[in-house]
A and B are shown apart, each in its own frame.
Chain A
Amino acid sequence: MVVEDNSVKRTPLHALHLELGGKMVNFAGWELPIQYPAGLMTEHRHCREKCALFDVSHMGQVKLRGDGIAEKFEKLVPASLVSLGEGKARYTFFTNAQGGVLDDLIVSNASDHFFIVVNASMRNQDLQIMRDGLPEVQIEELNHHALIALQGPASEKVLASQTNHPCDLKFMETMVTEIGGHPCRVSRLGYTGEDGFEISMPVESAEALTRAFLSHDDCEPAGLGARDSLRLEAGLCLYGEDIDPTTSPVEAGLSWAIPKRRRENGGFPGAERILNEIENGAARKLVGVRPQGRAPARSGVEIQTQTGLVCGAVTSGGFGPTVEGPVAMGYVTSEMSEPDTKVNLMIRGKPHPAVITPLPFVKQNYKR
């Protein structure tokens, strides 16, 4: 959704964010709330315990129509899309010829078309990848749609409170329905590690529906800050930090998203490196890192062995409100990647002890 205003873009919920006291920041060219008056910690915990509402209208929503889309799209990503049934969604990533990640995305089979959601910062690149890579496929950017996410264990209840049409979905399923009289696409997924829904709707419906959801006692607005701490605790990669054109999906621990047939037949950009790494292991791995003290380790912090050799770097890190302590993710050499390996984090030039920890830090709570 795009409303141009002096080059910083605003979502259809901009006025509502201000009304709710949102502290607005520029994020990937979009003016969005980093937090509301309740504060990041409270918003984070509310999502884990009840239901948080996020405005994710900055993300790119794209419809693809044409014959043989699944086969064509498989040339751009390592997922299996010919096996993606109607009403099913799948996490995947565009790769480059060197086997790096160009962006991660969700692809949904919406019966007569494919519905794609990509990162805000990468939408132009991704549109170009699709224009170049999908001949005779009609590519329609949904510039007149908002996207809001209900995340947390009470999301199902909050959603049900506004519609008489049951949203009978499991994790990674999608459907078109009506909520409060508004036509919506509802998908049961998100990026917080909690059960929840992403709801795509026309711009005109966004504010009314958001207000309706927020009128539920269990639903509170949450900003980008909580979204980041939630996904970090859930061990989910953030494009631009944990994954980028230099990191392969195998290094990033995303091999689970590359099914058997694609491993056998390849046929996607960078298959040579990626399949070799699946077969023989990658030289470095993305791991969870749990600082033993209280000091958070941010992106860029060097990871050293206990004898002082550099073995990696933190790619995202901060404080986990549910963990109630600092948490981080980063790449380390594969020999240092085993859980319980002791390392040092070089924070402001001083070693701080930390332990390699399996991801996620907080158990994912999906409705499978």
Chain B
Amino acid sequence: MTTYYTEDHEWITVEGEVATIGVTEHAAEQLGEVVFIELKEAGDTFGKGDEIGVIETVKAASEVYAPVDGEIVEANSSLSDAPTELNEHPEGSAWLYKIKINDSGQLNGLMDKEAYNSLIG
């Protein structure tokens, strides 16, 4: 199990065929209180960099971008009733998607924890 990070403040944890993605604690802190999360559905496919969701706070809407090419296996439906969970556990129970990765080679372009930590300083 390995976790990678993106410059758009997403994390992706890979376990065999399936990966889990979400936003980082740093991102959740910067966003402020989340009031609504719009997610795509299982079966939707996407390319790296595509917008795959929107996180709304009282003030603003922020897009979530796909860290790699893939297909959605499961969207975290519990977030629609409890969006503030994303403020509480962004790197745990408030994951956004389980996905199937098309090209695991794309993971090499992402950051590890150390590199991400130095990015957010």
Q: Are A296 and B35 in touch, CB under 8 angstroms? A: yes
Q: Which of A35, A225, A228, A295 lies in contact with B38, CB distance below 8 A?
A: A295
In the complex, which residues of chain A have a beta carbon less than 8 angstroms from the beta carbon of B116? none
Supposing A40-B32, A40-B33 touch, asked if A348 and B38 sit within 8 A by C-beta, the answer is: yes
With both chains docked as a complex, state the minimum distance between the C-beta of B29 and any C-beta of chain A, in angstroms: 11
Which chain B residue shows the least CB distance to A320? B58
Separation of A276 and B54 alpha carbons in the complex (Å): 44
In the complex, which residues of chain B have a beta carbon less than 8 angstroms from the beta carbon of A40? 32-33, 57-59
B80 at the interface (CB under 8 A from A): yes
Separation of A321 and B34 alpha carbons in the complex (Å): 12
Number of B residues near A (Cβ < 8 Å) is: 14
Convert B56-69 into 0s and 1s, putting 1 for each residue whose CB lies closer than 8 angstroms to a CB of A: 11111100000000
In the complex, which residues of chain A have a beta carbon less than 8 angstroms from the beta carbon of B46? none
Q: Are A319 and B36 in touch, CB under 8 angstroms? A: yes
In the complex, which residues of chain B have a beta carbon less than 8 angstroms from the beta carbon of A321? 58
Number of A residues near B (Cβ < 8 Å) is: 18
Supposing A40-B32, A40-B33 touch, asked if A229 and B38 sit within 8 A by C-beta, the answer is: no
Q: Are B36 and A34 in touch, CB under 8 angstroms? A: no
With both chains docked as a complex, state the minimum distance between the C-beta of A10 and any C-beta of chain B, in angstroms: 22
Q: Which of A341-363 contact B (CB under 8 A)?
A: 348
Jot down 25 A-B pairs with beta carbons below 8 A, ordered by A: A34-B59, A39-B32, A39-B33, A40-B57, A40-B58, A41-B33, A41-B58, A44-B58, A229-B59, A294-B35, A294-B36, A294-B83, A295-B38, A295-B56, A296-B36, A298-B60, A298-B61, A318-B59, A319-B35, A319-B56, A319-B58, A321-B58, A326-B35, A326-B36, A348-B38
